[in-house]
Amino acid sequence: MSYTALARKWRPHSFQEMTGQEHVLQALGNALDSGRLHHAFLFAGTRGVGKTTVARILAKCLNCERGVSRNPCGECGSCREIDSGRSVDLIEVDAASRTKVDDTRELLDNVQYAPTRSRFKIYLIDEVHMLSTHSFNALLKTLEEPPPHVKFLLATTDPQKLPVTVLSRCLQFNLKRLPVGLITARLKQILEAEQIAFEPPALQLLARAGDGSLRDALSLLDQLLAFGNGRADEAAARAMLGTVDRDQVTQIATLLAAGDTAALFAYVESLEQWSPDYGQILEQLTSLLERVALRQVVPDYAGDELHAPELLTELAGRLAAEDVQLYYQIGILGRRDLPLAPDPQAGFRMTLLRMLVFRPGATPAPAPRRSVPDSSVAPAAPGPAPSAADAADVNWSELVANLDLQGAARQLASHCVLLERTGNLVRLALDPRSSVVRTPAQEEKLAQALSRHFGSALRVQIEVRQDIAESPAREKQRLEEQRHSDARSAFAADAGVQSLQRRFNATIHPESVRPGKE
């Protein structure tokens, strides 16, 4: 008994059976119902999202013996012939195998003849971007002045390669990559109809691996059923796809939350026996962190098949919100940079190390010693938190100069004035004229830099006030203006300059005078 692949067996035969792509189906349905039918349609999108399926259904809509509509009967001779691939008036062409101009001319030689038995003669050209330049020219002549009985349905995964002259003569529809939830629901529907046992997490793993393509996910499902002896179990899916067990990812997240560096890296070493894909581990870890962050903001979030609500609740309570955001960002960047690491495991370890070292409140590595004159004083050495009275003894300008800050965050710090530090709170004042540099993201960066400098987790509170002392930025501006003023005075007092003024009636342009480098 022959077996039909699930992707073929469950290919939709009407628009109602399609998964997703509602924006395309609505537009086509309205055109069919109103009778405003273009002569050429272009369907673009990645593999397995339904381009040729939509084209075949559209062909049925156009040639159904009961009339043109968005709901072909599926029972007449024309509909049955199209479903079985036997319609003489639906000419399907794989452009990848017929790229020569002679092939295209041979194909189009019969355009002028009326359809054999249907309403329209329909040309369905798949991967149309593979045609040669001469083939496109031959096709363009027909697209410019098509006979009324001909319709062109073009499909491509790379519309950028089509000449603009062809694109301008087609109605273009862009099919979207299908979301994981939609693919998962379709897999579940098919397995229930097939009466095949499954575990929901296995279907979500297949949907993620399908990467937006329902056809790829169905092919993986066929492979899983063969691998799992007719069942779709999570363990079999992970083994087939080479993904790490989610309990292992949960353990990594738990050790991160505990800040247990030794136990975390010992556990990472134990994973090597499974020869894991470290990129997939980071993908699953960041996926878990995203769900934890969502749970922290939306307490009623119930989780999904891969992440139990109890786990999300536990991690959401143990991890600070800023730690979750930091871990997520480092994980995303670590996954991107993994191919550049000396080896995948080393890149994975370094990513986890960054999470632990750069989180707020982490003990920073010792800074290199700097050579300073004996008379200098450290700008604010780590130690007991100064009181409000002690804040005046801290040189905020020198402190800002020594903070690990760049860009807008450094600009924010330089426009602030230190009011006090009490416990883990640092109060700053900001001039209203400089409030444009203040954003939550830059405040967080400033708090992290201060935490690293003082060796303890600190919070920053910024007040916008008129009556503040001179900020480092204003101080720098004042000193620069003073240096320019001194330079102009010295230049004007120079005997040589005065001699030139007397002899040649010369004039000094003050804005052209620049102070020398110190």
**pLDDT per position as a tens digit, 405-447:** 888 888 889 889 998 888 889 999 988 777 777 888 888 889 9
Confidence of residue 484 (pLDDT cuts 50, 70, 90): confident
349 and 268 in contact (C-beta within 8 Å)? yes
Q: What is the pLDDT of residue 103?
A: 66
Measured over the CA atoms of residue 338, residue 344, residue 350 and residue 356, the dihedral's sign is: positive
Q: Residue 211 pLDDT more than 50?
A: yes
Q: Residue 96 pLDDT more than 80?
A: no
Q: Residue 172 pLDDT more than 90?
A: yes
CA separation for the pair 399, 385 (Å, rounded): 15
Q: Residue 377 pLDDT more than 70?
A: no
Provide the residue ranges of all domains of the chain, joining segments of one domain with +. 6-174, 180-241, 246-357, 390-469, 474-512
CA separation for the pair 98, 52 (Å, rounded): 17
Identify the CATH number of the domain defined by range 390-469.
3.30.300.150
In the block, tokens 């400098």 appear at 453
Confidence of residue 494 (pLDDT cuts 50, 70, 90): confident
Confidence of residue 58 (pLDDT cuts 50, 70, 90): very high
Kind and range of the H or E run holding 352: helix 344-357
Long-range contacts of 428-431 (CB under 8 A, 24+ apart): 428/460, 428/461, 428/462, 428/463, 429/462, 429/463, 429/464, 429/465, 429/468, 430/462, 430/463, 430/464, 430/465, 430/468, 431/464, 431/465, 431/466, 431/468, 431/471, 431/474
- Give pLDDT tens digits for 98-134: 656 666 777 777 788 888 889 999 999 999 998 888 8
**Does the structural domain 246-357 have CATH classification 1.10.10.10?**
no
Q: What is the pLDDT of residue 64?
A: 94
Confidence of residue 286 (pLDDT cuts 50, 70, 90): very high
- Give pLDDT tens digits for 212-254: 899 999 999 999 998 888 889 888 888 787 666 677 888 899 8
Confidence of residue 480 (pLDDT cuts 50, 70, 90): confident
Q: What is the pLDDT of residue 382?
A: 40
Q: Residue 90 pairs with which residues in a beta bridge?
A: 122
CATH value of 180-241 in 1.10.8.60, 1.10.150.20, 3.50.4.10, 3.90.1150.10: 1.10.8.60
Q: Residue 518 pLDDT more than 80?
A: no
* Averaged pLDDT for residues 347-357: 92
CA separation for the pair 32, 25 (Å, rounded): 10
Measured over the CA atoms of residue 307, residue 310, residue 316 and residue 319, the dihedral's sign is: negative
Q: What is the pLDDT of residue 334?
A: 93
Q: What is the pLDDT of residue 387?
A: 43
Which fold, 6-174?
A: Rossmann fold (3.40.50)
Any idea which of 136-140, 167-171, 500-504 has the lowest mean pLDDT?
500-504
Confidence of residue 276 (pLDDT cuts 50, 70, 90): confident
Cα dihedral 57→62→64→68 (10° resolution): 120
Interhelix angle 77-84/51-63, rounded to 10 degrees, is: 160
* Averaged pLDDT for residues 35-49: 91
Averaged confidence pLDDT in the chain: 84
What is the percent of the chain with per-residue pLDDT over 90, rounded to a whole number? 32
Strands 150-156 vs 40-44: parallel, antiparallel or unpaired = parallel
126 and 92 in contact (C-beta within 8 Å)? yes
Any idea which of 34-48, 58-72, 278-292, 456-470 has the lowest mean pLDDT?
456-470
CA separation for the pair 188, 291 (Å, rounded): 23
CA atoms within 13 A on the CB side of 325: 9
DSSP for residue 232: B
Q: What is the pLDDT of residue 244?
A: 63
Q: What is the pLDDT of residue 333?
A: 93
In the block, tokens 């007040």 appear at 463
Strands 171-174 vs 416-422: parallel, antiparallel or unpaired = unpaired
SS3 at position 39: coil
Confidence of residue 384 (pLDDT cuts 50, 70, 90): very low
Is this structure's pTM higher than 0.95?
no
- Give pLDDT tens digits for 287-319: 899 999 988 888 777 666 667 788 888 888 888
Q: What is the pLDDT of residue 62?
A: 94
